[in-house]
Amino acid sequence: MGYLMCRGKGGTFAQGKISISARSLSGLRWILAFVASLEEGAPAAIDDGGHRRSGVDHGEDELGRYEKLYKEFKQIETDLHTVLGIKEELVLERDALVKKVERLSTEMAFLLNGDPRRVAEDLDSLVAENRFLKARLDSANEESETMKATLSKYRAMTEARPSTANTMVNQDSSLGEKSSVAVVNMKQIRELLSSHAIKLDDNDYKAITAILLDLCNDKQMALTHLRRANKVLGNRVNEVESHLAVLEAKSRSTSPNKQT
């Protein structure tokens, strides 16, 4: 766009130069016609010597003007050639940029699943969509890391203690149902402890105790985060209240002045 603007300005400047050159040429034609009339003997028809002298002086003045205009014409011609050269360079640069934009459009069409209609969409919307997808990807990565940490913690816990399923494989079917019990939350722990159909041994109680300890640690961590958030909110509320108190004091101090 900048190149095209430069090209437009250069073309306007060149048109101005050409119009000046045309006016200069018309002036030169008039001077040449006047000089030709002088050379043909127009001053000889004047009988008075003073009048002849004034005609010669007038011709010299016109000749000086002619020389001055001729120099200006040469300068304008030189400037015109320079402007035309710059114009040609700008045209070449514009063509190169047009080809580059066409190549970029082709590459974008290929990247956008080869659909050329997607290129006509607004680039700002594509950038915004890219940022949104990047934010979702970062959030998904954080959730994945949290899940990996939780799984590694429970895996370490299960590897450190013998599994209930491995210890109850050779027992009867009534006790084998205990291997299918997966203790995950407090509700399942309550159901397991209140059930009389499943017999629990010391290893089961140890596993339940470890799970309860992990749940307590998770609750403690969540409570710590909640306390921090509440502290931040409390500080913010205090700042707002202090700001409101200052505004109220200012309004009270200005209200008596208005009444007086």
Closest CA to 201 of 170, 182, 178: 178
Give the 3-state secondary structure of 133-145.
HHHHHHHHHHHHH
pLDDT by residue for the chain (260 residues), tens digit each?
Answer: 333 344 444 445 445 555 555 566 666 666 666 666 655 554 444 444 455 556 566 667 778 888 888 888 888 888 988 999 999 999 999 999 998 888 887 777 677 665 555 555 556 666 677 777 888 888 788 877 877 777 777 666 666 654 444 444 444 444 344 433 344 566 777 777 776 666 777 777 777 787 777 878 888 888 887 888 888 888 778 877 877 877 777 777 766 555 54
pLDDT of residue 91: 93
pLDDT of residue 27: 62
- Does residue 184 sit in helix, strand or coil? coil
- Does residue 10 sit in helix, strand or coil? helix
| Contact call for residues 181 and 192 (beta carbons, < 8 A) | yes
pLDDT of residue 92: 93
Residue 192 CB neighbour total at 10 angstroms? 16
pTM of the predicted model as reported, rounded to 2 decimal places: 0.27
**Strand intervals (E) in the chain:** none
